[in-house]
Chain A
Amino acid sequence: MSRETGAASTPILIRHRPAWRERIDRSAPVWVLAAAALVLLILLPLAWLGYMSVQGEGGFTLAQYARVFADPRLQRALWNTVVLALWSGVIAVAIGAPMAWLTARTDLPWSRAIRSLVMASFVTPPFLGAFAWVMLAGPNAGYLNKLYRSLTGAEEPLFNIFTMTGLIFVVALYTFPYVYIMIANTLGLIASDLEEAAAILGAHRLQVALTVTLPMVLPAILSGFILAVLQALALFGSPAILALPAGFHTITTQVWALFQYPPKIEMAAACSVPLLLSTALLLLVQKKLLGRRGYASVGGKGGQRRVIPLGAWRYPALAGCLAVLACAVFLPYSVLARAAFSRAWAEPLSWENFTLANWSFTFLYSATQSAIVNTLELGVLTACVGAALAALLAYITTRKLVVGHQVLAFLTLAPVVIPGIVLAVALFIAYTRPPFLLYGTLWILFIAYLTKEMPVGYSQSDATFRGIHPELEEAGRILGAGRLRVLGEITAPLAKSGIIATWCFIFIGVIRELSASIILFTPSTKVMSVVIFDLKEEGQFGAIAVLGLFMLLMTFVVVALMQSLLGRDVMGARSSSSAG
């Protein structure tokens, strides 16, 4: 069927190539392999999840589902998750979309620096951000609240981070970069021709933005929103740090609690399946809303992008961006740095309070050293395999190369709706028995990370390949090149920076992964995020700050290396060279 589709669009090809080559396309095995990998990574754990959810003492049962929907505590956890995810998504769009437009299209001062700082916020593990915000906005000891009290003499805190509002705030701070990147990339791809045409025809600047630019980036906004919602849904660390102390659960922390001894894995599975179905529905809605409109806006043609002058709004806009970045980056890093060098984080800065002991304590802790090595190994390995796989899959699905490519796309995106912790338990069950005895090795973490990062990797690659109009490839094939040659000589160079971006995305995702690791680690396969979470449960602020800062430094160094080795500025808006 795929051959027929191909034949329909390139009829010339059929006539000039021998029939046997048509039947056995050399690239076919590659597609088959990729699809098989996907089935193993995603279908197998999902099957386990479904199986566990209906598995009772005496075989098949729906009792778990009945209990999930009857238990008011589980219902509340589900509801909390919905509230958290939707509000985080809305706020992420409200922050991310304007900032993307400002930095990509206008004469906003320092726009490059702002872009880098958004990336810094993206790289920040949400649990580390949440942890920093405990020090900033804890109702009594938080710096900001103490400052507020001393300025106003008020009794009540300005802001209590241990609330649903606080949780949404922190989660939005670290999910808005998803929206930002999505939109900044799209804006970078759209040439200004249409906007200029509208301007020439007499449209006002705002009118242009609303009637021309906005419709063009709407799919990106919607995709960004959905990605942000799904990220917020699956988060474990931030709710564990901010919601549990306040005495409320989200579905992820609830599922995690269900795994404590004696484990209730079936209940956890039954909690997750409705979640999975509803997020699948969300993706379906997105598809319906976007419809069949094509947004391929880069072809072989070059596009000029004109800078829009902000006029009097330049500095207010800058102030707005800086305020967001202060909350996401400046303030959290300042308190982390402070805590890393303090004996007691809540005490004033002074020589008596200054210490280097946190550093030696952290790095002498035997678990830390092996965790650093494990994390790096897993990060690089997963990023390499994941970027390659994501590129391949995105290519297959955007070019509709196999039968059922929609199913493939859905499956690739599906893990985003599985809380990492649920995926982890599914993997735990699947890979603790023959023939795959992987628990206790780094491989089980590798599989978990790969599965978990596929949606992000795939979305990034998908955007990349969507941006490369098939007409270029068709031209190559019409001229007689095979699909692999077209891939190597036309598509790959165009997609290069996108693929490197995917690599970085996956690497960052792995470094900060917590929710699957927390179930799948064994002492010999501990990763840094797990060590940080352990330290958090014991209240070791200094050591967490040290390890957190080190983790970020490590991430920045690796990402910077990748960028300087293989391309430039791949994490921000795409460089214009990739379009031309």
Chain B
Amino acid sequence: MTRCRAVALVLILAGFFAGRPGLAQDTRVEAARKEGKVVWYTSLALSSAEKIAKLFEAEYPGIKVEVQRTGSQRILQRVMQELQANIKNVDVIHTSDAGHYVLLKDKKLLMKYTPAGVERFPASFKDKDGYHYGLRATVNVIAYNTKAVSASDAPKTWKDLLDPRWKGKLVTAHPGYSGVTATHVLALVNLYGWDYFKQLAQNRPMLVQSAVDPSTVVASGERAVAANGGDYTFYQMKKKGNPVAIVFPKEGVPLVVSPTAITAFAPHPNAAKLFTDFIFSRPIQQVLADSEGLYTGHPDVSYPADQPKLSELKLLQVDAEELEKRNEEIKTRFVEFFGA
């Protein structure tokens, strides 16, 4: 089934690129092929990242995608650590912490590159200086295990999670690992102040790292309710038949737009550009929406019927500059309340 789909996609893609001005594209591909690979540090869930890599490799034989998947904060740590040692390894950086791109741009570590076709993306997906663009978006939601909690008992708002009846039954991801979670924490701090998390900590939630992990914890029944986590991870869990239900809290859902950028020092710049164009193309953006349950900035992408449209949701937006500035505060205070 998925294989058929992949083949079909490749065919669509072949058609898509065949329709473009041929010669320029040929020399670009040739230059990329000489480089042989593109190194992608990504915070996209591993299965999704691998899927995109395989599609790219099928489209451009001879150019490998080296997927290095870890949490957003770990990616930043890795990039900085490598630069300190004068190692230039990464071509494309993709995290879910928009603040990182403020920092990286400031430090002149990004290459100015506008992927083909992003002109029509909404402004919130675009850097005005042209360094980074939002590859995908997700919202933080509450989710619960339907075997453990009935729909009527389930929490409806972020504040509901503070009720002592959820003591020992919650799970939260960590802003020291996940950009999705860092964004979430800042959005709720802006809404309710740090007091919210101080109280949430009283319910002793289980601490996991990735914003993908609350979905596995809730699906397994280890905890009944996820206090946050990327909407798309719960969506995928639900699709696979796990007893998971999603709640979009009334106060609004923190929107996370995850940018991607090519590094200024990219060792495989041509492959990086080709890859960046590829992931912003309509077919790939559609894959992100269809099989991964993500939102995208592409205006032509259609979404599964069982998922609310972004425009229907009340979104809590976070300013990237503020996220950058308060990065350390977010991590420190979170650890202060939750213990680790």
Q: Which residues of A contact B (CB under 8 A)?
A: 73, 138-142, 162, 243-249, 253, 257, 259-263, 343-346, 361, 364-367, 428, 432, 437, 439-440, 522-524, 534-535, 537-541
Contact = CB atoms under 8 A, between A and B. Distances in A.
B208 A366 contact: no
Given A346-B219, A365-B50, A263 B77 contact: yes
Given A247-B338, A523-B66, A537-B71, A140 B46 contact: no
B46 A540 contact: yes
B19 interface: no
A364 B50 contact: yes
B340 A537 contact: no
Interface residues of B, number: 59
Interface string B60-82: 00001111111101101110111
Contacts of A73: 335-336
Contact of A247 (B74, B219, B240, B340): B340
B212 A539 contact: yes
Given A366-B53, A366-B64, A538-B46, A432 B69 contact: no
Interface string B39-63: 1010001110010011000000000
Contacts of A247: 204, 207, 338-340
B82 A261 contact: no
Q: Label chain B's interface by main secondary structure.
A: mixed
A139 B167 CA distance: 13
A366 B69 CA distance: 11
Contacts of A540: 46, 216
A262 B340 contact: no
B176 interface: yes
B71 A535 contact: no
30 contacts: A73-B335, A138-B222, A139-B222, A244-B207, A244-B209, A246-B340, A247-B340, A257-B340, A259-B77, A344-B220, A346-B221, A361-B47, A366-B67, A367-B66, A367-B68, A428-B85, A432-B85, A432-B86, A439-B85, A523-B41, A523-B66, A524-B89, A534-B69, A534-B70, A537-B70, A538-B69, A538-B213, A539-B217, A540-B46, A541-B216
A453 B23 CA distance: 57
A140 B221 contact: yes
A243 B68 contact: no
B290 interface: no
Nearest to A254: B340
A261 B213 contact: no
B281 interface: no
Pairs of residues from A and B, 10 with the lowest C-beta to C-beta distance, nearest first: A247-B339, A539-B216, A539-B213, A346-B220, A432-B85, A141-B222, A261-B77, A537-B209, A141-B220, A439-B85
A439 B87 contact: yes
Contacts of A366: 50, 53, 64-67
B328 interface: yes
Contacts of A249: 339-340
B84 interface: yes
A539 B210 contact: yes
B222 A261 contact: no
Contact of B340 (A244, A361, A437, A439): A244
B144 to A, nearest CB: 13
Contacts of B216: 539-541
B340 A539 contact: no
Contact of A537 (B78, B84, B87, B213): B213
A263 B222 CA distance: 33
A112 B92 CA distance: 54
Given A365-B46, A439-B87, A243 B340 contact: yes
Interface string B76-113: 11101110111101100000000000000000000000
A263 B66 CA distance: 26
Interface in B277-301: none
A5 B37 CA distance: 62
B242 interface: yes
Contacts of A262: 328
A440 B86 CA distance: 10
Nearest to A261: B77
Contact of A539 (B82, B208, B336): B208
Contacts of B328: 262
A523 B39 contact: yes
B329 to A, nearest CB: 12
Nearest to B37: A366
A141 B240 contact: no
B114 interface: no
B132 interface: no
A428 B80 CA distance: 13
B71 A523 contact: no
B197 to A, nearest CB: 13
Contacts of B89: 440, 522-524
B188 to A, nearest CB: 19
B64 to A, nearest CB: 7
Given A343-B240, A346-B220, A523 B85 contact: no
Contacts of A539: 208, 210, 212-213, 215-217
Contacts of B77: 259-261, 263
Nearest to B85: A432
A534 B41 CA distance: 13
Nearest to B214: A539
Nearest to A534: B70
B232 interface: no
A301 to B, nearest CB: 57
B206 interface: yes
Given A248-B339, A522-B89, A344 B242 contact: yes
B184 interface: no
Nearest to B90: A523
Interface in B296-340: 328, 331, 335-336, 338-340
B177 interface: yes
Contacts of A541: 216, 220
A440 B71 contact: no
Contacts of A535: 46
B210 A538 contact: yes
A81 to B, nearest CB: 14
A162 B66 contact: no
B126 interface: no
A249 B340 CA distance: 6
A73 B328 CA distance: 17
A242 B45 CA distance: 23
B30 to A, nearest CB: 23
Contact of B222 (A346, A428, A440): A346
B273 interface: no
Contacts of B136: none
B66 A140 contact: no
Contacts of A243: 340
Contact of B177 (A259, A365, A523, A537): A537
Given A365-B67, A539-B213, A140 B53 contact: no
A537 B215 CA distance: 12
B59 to A, nearest CB: 16
Nearest to A352: B241
Interface in B172-222: 176-177, 204, 206-210, 212-213, 215-217, 219-222
Contacts of A432: 84-86
B211 to A, nearest CB: 9
Contacts of A345: 220
A279 B46 CA distance: 40
A344 B328 CA distance: 36
Nearest to A530: B70
A246 B222 CA distance: 13
Contacts of B168: 139
A110 B223 CA distance: 41
